[in-house]
Amino acid sequence: TVLFDTGSSNLWVPTVSAGKPMYFNPNASSTYEPLGQVFHIRYGSGPVWGYFCRDTVAIGDLNLRNFTFAHVDDASTIRNYDRTPFGGVLGLGFPSISMGNVPTVMEVLAQSGQMAEPVFAFYLANSRSGELVLGGVNTAHFVGDMVYVQLVLAAWWAVRLDGVKVGELELQPEARIAIIDSGTSLLAGPEWEVERIAKHVGAVAESSSYRLPRCHEGLPSLTFTLGGRDFTLAGKDLVLGSGI
């Protein structure tokens, strides 16, 4: 299993040495080709080292023959890797940030003509199964019109951050670019700007998170203006377990 990550552009999978129940076994593949080139990438949760190789990669009904990816023997350098439900990472970022300058999965899929459209779409569900569509969009998962936001940097999925609003209070962030990153479950930002938001909602710092000293009912909404469009999270959506 892999994490589909818009914050990176490489595909790597674990070998049996990584300790995951599902792994890649080069010896069991008749099409495996070692390349003898070291692979290295650094995530926010830590670095990973491995080796590049070529083999056939299958994602559902989609097949990439002779595709270059990496296999990793030890991924314990990633924080809490032993507790993650995934073994490897499939990057959905742009070629400009691909380690080793190898082609990306989406780049090769688009060139192969296997997809109806050169797009992918996530449905991030709450308390039920989510979905990733490669080559289209499942219209059953949204209402209204699709909203498009112009990219400002074709490396990560980076868009213009025009403003942040807590309830009706407008904050003018110094950070002007936001990255849409499917590889993380949390909202992250410059420390002092996050502290400003926490202060306005009454949260106090506790270890690596913030805690509300009162019931979160009545918590103000949080609005991000991206590319001139407002995207609002209700107060209840800001709370993860007992923290914010």
CA dist., res. 155 & res. 137, Å (int): 22
**Structure-token match 């989609």, residue found:** 62
Q: Which of 145, 181, 230, 237 is catalytic?
A: 181
Catalytic residue among 5, 74, 145, 162: 5
181 is known as an active-site residue: yes
Distance CA 151, CA 158 (A): 6
- Residue pointed to by tokens 């023959």: 65
SS3 90: strand
Sign of the four-CA dihedral 80, 82, 88, 90: negative
Nearest to 2 by CA among 186, 187, 183: 183
Residues 105, 43, 17: CA angle, nearest 5 degrees: 80
Answer yes or no: 237 catalytic. Answer: no
Q: Considering only CA atoms, which of 131, 46, 125, 126 is closest in space to residue 89?
A: 46
Catalytic residues: 5, 181
